[in-house]
Structure 1
Amino acid sequence: MDATQGDTRKELSPAEIGAIAHLYRGEVYRSTTWRTRLDTTTNWAVVTLGIALSISFSSPEASPIPLILVGILIIFFLMLEARRYRYFNVWRARCRWMETHFFAPMLHEGDLHLEDGWQRTLAEDYWHPRYHVGMATAMGRRIRRNYFWILLIQSVAYVGKLMVHPAPLTSVADLVDRAAIGPVPGAPVLAAGVLYCLTWALFSVWSQRSDARKAAHRPRDSSMG
């Protein structure tokens, strides 16, 4: 940001203040719309998991394979939701920026502090719109918020199915045998399941630590991202 250019304006006219207020309302509407879309993809994941649970536990002879196949859909919904979150985060960040640099100073001091150049940061975000978070960060955040529990229920249900159907488990060897899928032995299937769970768990932990590092180095007056 060019500090000299940020110092050229000292105040906003009443018409400009009104325009910013309307702009804020528009950004709140867009963030609310995209927030609703996030809930939609989460609902899809929950519903498909519920269907898989119903099919697999409908009878002792029912196959646990639906609980495996639903994992593909859950991953698809997670990626779709992460993409939507990146859009939502743009509108959310702009709203928060106006709240902390326009509304809060106006209410607290009656001074918008245009000399700080916050309005140029907002203008640049409109001139050159961009995502404020990466795809990996968005996926990690959605896992921590919602998908951790969905994936946990899926994994517990799959193991539970193998343990109780068609009869209560008597040995670890039986567990491995029941996990077999057609010509694929049970051991590789279980190993893939463990890798599946560990991958998303590690992804979530990495994302949380990455967010914590970014927050620690972010200026206190920044709310973009």
Structure 2
Amino acid sequence: MSDRPSDFDPESREDREIAGEAARDRDGFLSLMGHAYRGEMGRMTSWRTRIDRTTNWAVVLTATLLTWAFSSDSRPHYVLLIGVVMLSVFLGIETRRYRVYDIWRSRVRILEENVFANALDPEGVEQSNWRELLSRDLRSPTVKTPIVEAVSRRLRRVYFALISVLVLAWIVRLTVFAASSSEVVDTAIVGQVPGEFVLAAAGFYYATVLVLTFWPGSRQAKGELQSEPEEEWK
């Protein structure tokens, strides 16, 4: 049996907008915001777990490749480059997940700033139109973090260190058995690909990673964390 009232009309404007009554009732509104906060927090936690899972894969892959590549002199050096490519794939997956995660995180921050923070300190209100902003985003969810910023943040947090380790290990693998620079170029050959091209491509890739990691643009994601507290926490 359905719990829907017999007089409920889904085409009726009044019935479709029945939740609007909560906006005029303080207790109903606060109760609704509590449920909304738990729902958005659940979504945020779920996507945070997905991000962490990708990071774990990347760390395990890096550790496995380093162990295998240096376990014998006969191991091919380009396996480490394949690892860099795989890390780039993981970075792309994690960037997409981070941008989706930030949708739910931004909603949680709006509720924390304008409901819970105001309950503790009503004088600290900053956004007067937060209900309109949240309503608009619930009706039409949008990605709020630019892709360059998302890539830069994931590189700074995790992937720049992992990629740097693999690139450094690859350089060591090339130079440790070479007596001169010409031998390094010869050692860098991958199949029919000249060593000069491999070295140039690796250098260009790492330079791009450096630029993206330390991208100077200001953060556009909602709710930027303070690097230092304005007041001492006691």
Query: TM-score range with shorter-chain normalisation?
Result: 0.7 to 0.9
Give the counterpart of 2:58 among 26, 45, 62. 45
Q: Which position in structure 2 is the counterpart of 1:152?
A: 164
After TM superposition, the score normalised by the length of structure 1 is 0.82
Distance across 2 between alignment mates of 1:181 and 1:99: 54
Structure 2 unmatched runs, 5+: 1-21, 225-234
Q: Which position in structure 1 is the counterpart of 2:217?
A: 210
Task: Work out the percentage of aligned pairs sharing the same amino acid.
Answer: 34
Q: Determine which structure has more spread, i.e. the larger CA radius of gyration.
A: 2
* Preserved CA contact (<8 Å) 2:80 2:170: yes
Q: State the secondary structure of the residue aligned to 1:130.
A: coil
How large is the Cα RMSD of the aligned pairs?
Answer: 2.4
CA displacement, residues 16-35 of structure 1 (integer Å, 9 cap, x when unaligned): 20110111111111111111
Which is helix-richer, 1 or 2?
1
1:183 has 2:192 as partner: yes
CA displacement, residues 54-103 of structure 1 (integer Å, 9 cap, x when unaligned): 22212012111110111221111101000000111011111111111111
**How far off is 1:12 after superposition?**
4.7
Equivalent position amino acid for 1:147 in 2: Y
CA shift in 2, pair 1:124/1:161, >3 Å: same
**How far off is 1:205 after superposition?**
2.2
Q: Which position in structure 1 is the counterpart of 2:139?
A: 127
Distance across 1 between alignment mates of 2:58 and 2:143: 25
**How far off is 1:210 after superposition?**
1.6
Q: Which position in structure 2 is the counterpart of 1:16?
A: 29
1:196 has 2:200 as partner: no
After TM superposition, the score normalised by the length of structure 2 is 0.79
Give the counterpart of 1:25 among 25, 38, 42. 38
Structure 1 unmatched runs, 5+: 1-8, 216-221
1:80 has 2:93 as partner: yes
Q: Which position in structure 1 is the counterpart of 2:183?
A: 174
Q: Judge which range, 141-150 or 50-59, deviates more.
A: 50-59
Equivalent position amino acid for 2:174 in 1: L
Higher relative contact order (CA 8 A, sep 6+): 1
Q: Which runs of 4+ in 1 moved over 3 A?
A: 9-12, 110-114
Q: State the secondary structure of the residue aligned to 2:189.
A: coil
Equivalent position amino acid for 2:118 in 1: P
